[in-house]
Amino acid sequence: MSQSLSLEAKNLIDRPNFAHLATLMPDGSPLSTPVWIGREGDMIVISISDWSLKGKNTKKDPRVSLSIVDFKNPYEELQIRGRVAEIRPDPDFKIMNPISHKYIGRPFPIHMQGPGRIALMIEVEKERYTRVPLEHTPPK
């Protein structure tokens, strides 16, 4: 059953923070991959190549998890469990380009030949947002 994202989660997702997407390989082992993310309402959007391992894995098993850490404050983080509710074709990069603008300020520059681009529309089943009151001050 899907749930609505909290305001804190939406804010973290809407900033240019990298996420790690975990999918399940055919043998059941996890695959974790850093990805750019977008948001459409309460759904998380990830644009990928159709032929990627992430793409193949989510077609066989839609269960995924995501972890997102704030780029500026690594003590603010979000964990999500969910499932790919829909796979949308994105051959003209209409889904990918707004996500690319969030991260690099321009349309996605890599247009590879071969099978097309798809967007994973991820429905959130469980969210855990945490902000720990620490300051990131690693030794020099």
Give the Cα-Cα-Cα angle 138, 69, 122 (nearest 5 degrees): 165
Q: pLDDT tens for residues 30-48?
A: 999 999 999 999 999 999 9
Full 3-state SS string of 16-36: CCCEEEEEECCCCCEEEEEEC
pTM score of the predicted model? 0.90
Average pLDDT of 6-11? 97
Domains and CATH numbers, the chain: 7-131 (2.30.110.10)
Q: pLDDT tens for residues 88-129?
A: 999 888 999 999 999 999 888 776 544 588 999 999 999 999
